[in-house]
Amino acid sequence: MSFDRPRVTTSTLKALLDDALFSGVVRHFVKTTGEEPAVVERQVLECLRYLYLISRYPDRLAGLFLPVEQAIDEVWHYLILQTREYRELCEERLPGRFFIHHRSLPYEDYHEAQPSREQALEEALCWLPLYHEEFGPFDEGALPHWTMARFLHQQLGLSLDAIAALGAEEQAAQRDAERAR
């Protein structure tokens, strides 16, 4: 598999929700936030990417701090309130086929439970190669929604290519180990 060609396309993500629910979520957030429809549609897609990753990699990502911005979490909350459709999304459409629970945990409580800054950084970085593997490299449209990718790009000056390369070698070794099993 090419590391630059996404396995999961935008149309595949949109198909995780039926058209009525996808457009309903977009309409709701356009109305309640005043954001442009294109911005909200991207937020819904990034929420679906987040849920897809949790579902696909529960052993690696379960219990880690939410790596996306508040707007994405709000979309997730809204999806959860559509109980029947959310259960179907989790248990029938996402790759892991299990219900993804949401637990609110204040940042301060999460931060106190972490033994070190290094572990917190490692947790935040572990999402990047998985995102890249499933959806392709981060683009400018994704940066506002993924905290670590945006930080690396805006604060540390890493290019999108450099962000895409982070963890690539480790990810390749992990894939090889999984295939060997």
Tens of pLDDT, residues 120-148: 778 888 999 999 999 999 999 999 999 99
The span from the CA of 32 to the CA of 46, in Å, is 19
Lowest mean pLDDT among 34-48, 131-145, 151-165, 167-181: 167-181
Is the pLDDT at 49 greater than 90? The verdict is yes
- Name every residue whose Cβ is closer than 8 Å to that of residue 139 and which is 6 or more positions away in sequence: 160
